[in-house]
Amino acid sequence: MPLDALQEARRQIEICNACRYCEGYCSVFPAMMRQRAFSDGDLTQLANLCHNCRGCYYACQYTEPHEFALNVPAALAEVRSDSWTAFAWPGSVARLFQRSGVAMALAVILGFAALFWLAQAVRPAVGEGFYAVMSHTMMVAIFMPAFLLPLFAIGVSLRRYWRSVGGRTIQLAHIQRAFGRAARLADLSGGQGQGCNFEEADRYSDARRWMHQLVVYGFLLCFASTCAGTIMHYVFGWEAPYGFWTPPKLLGVPGGVLLAIGCAGLIWLKLQAERSLADGRVWGGEMAFILVLLVTAVTGLVLYAATGTRAVEVLLPLHLGTVLAFFLLAPYSKMVHGFFRLAALVRDAQLAERHST
């Protein structure tokens, strides 16, 4: 990772550790106060614990125009972004996405959509629902590798991260504590239960936390819908199309709605937020990730509404191209932040346990 970002983060963290005014804030500050010196791995761990709620910045007496010029949210955001790129496999793709995320995502979506449109030329002569447009075998042959390869890439990244931060053998108690904090998005409450300061200076708000919850649970419902359809197809021999009162639709439609609302909310909040308190280098890549998620949700809902019409021939390739782009770009987009922050929470549980004994 770039040494200048690490050095600046170390300078700011050491000042914070001497001041300790923000002791009651998010997970970063209790973790910081357990030690006096900070290795590169320690800074990477703190950076991935940070949720960029910005409460510490607005509470700090040492921000500009003070000579210390502290901006901890931005300093940790740069280290965090650099860590995702440094640990990514392959790293060149991650660097390209962070520089030109929107353009890259758009190119991938349209490129795969065009291939799917061409693939309709070899569609089966018979079939119901979506399979009348594109065969089930073709979908599985394309999406199975597109799902497994990104998971492998994310696994490589997490292994590199875990080594960097000095992670030890994981116990069930560490996982339970980490998942408990992640499920509640506790760190987006600023650590004090009054919300964060992401979108409007020193005004507290839970809007970002709510939008994140909608995205997370909307995505999980959509994933559960896909799993339900897979089980129904391969275990029970019940092939698509499925009616509304079946698990795939009862899970997928609400999930798509929640995902669309949450993504639209996050885009609006991101446009309102002060860019100088984040890593401005990767703004485009972060926005691209949210846009891909939003387009995935919206095209899925529109596709369901258009079932039985000729519009499916256009909408299905566009939706599948978006889903494929989402999975293939996941190891290099901000999607990976969920995995890294969960790993950081697990490591924090280990360090807290060691500190208390």
Express each pLDDT in 201-232 by its tens digit.
778 888 899 999 999 999 999 999 999 988 99
pLDDT recorded at residue 193: 65
Q: Of the given ranges (29-38, 84-93, 131-140), which has the lowest mean pLDDT?
A: 131-140
What is the number of other CB atoms lying within 10 angstroms of the CB of residue 218? Answer: 22
pLDDT recorded at residue 134: 64
Q: Of the given ranges (114-123, 127-136, 215-224), which has the lowest mean pLDDT?
A: 127-136
Mean pLDDT throughout 303-310?
Answer: 86
pLDDT recorded at residue 316: 85
pLDDT band at 195 (very low <50, low <70, confident <90, very high): confident
Mean pLDDT throughout 187-205?
Answer: 75
pLDDT band at 346 (very low <50, low <70, confident <90, very high): very high
**Residue among 274, 347, 228, 239 at smallest CA distance from 54:** 274
pLDDT band at 136 (very low <50, low <70, confident <90, very high): low
Phi-psi region of 308 (alpha: psi -120 to 50; beta: other; left: phi over 0): left
Instruction: Count Cα atoms within 13 angstroms, Cβ side, for 261.
Output: 12
* Residue 149, CA distances (Å) to 53, 89, 267, 293 in order: 32, 11, 28, 19
CA angle, 46 as apex, 43 and 51 as ends, to 5°?
A: 135
pLDDT recorded at residue 126: 52
Residue 135 has pLDDT above 70, yes or no: no
pLDDT in tens, 228-280: 988 998 888 887 778 889 999 999 999 999 999 999 999 999 998 999 999 98
Using CA atoms of 320, 324, 326, 332 in order, give the dihedral in degrees to the nearest 10: -170
Per-position DSSP letters for 308-320, written without gaps between them? TSTTHHHHHHHHH
pLDDT recorded at residue 132: 58
Residue 92 has pLDDT above 60, yes or no: yes
pTM exceeding 0.75? yes
pLDDT in tens, 31-44: 999 888 999 999 99
Mean pLDDT throughout 97-114?
Answer: 83
pLDDT recorded at residue 84: 93
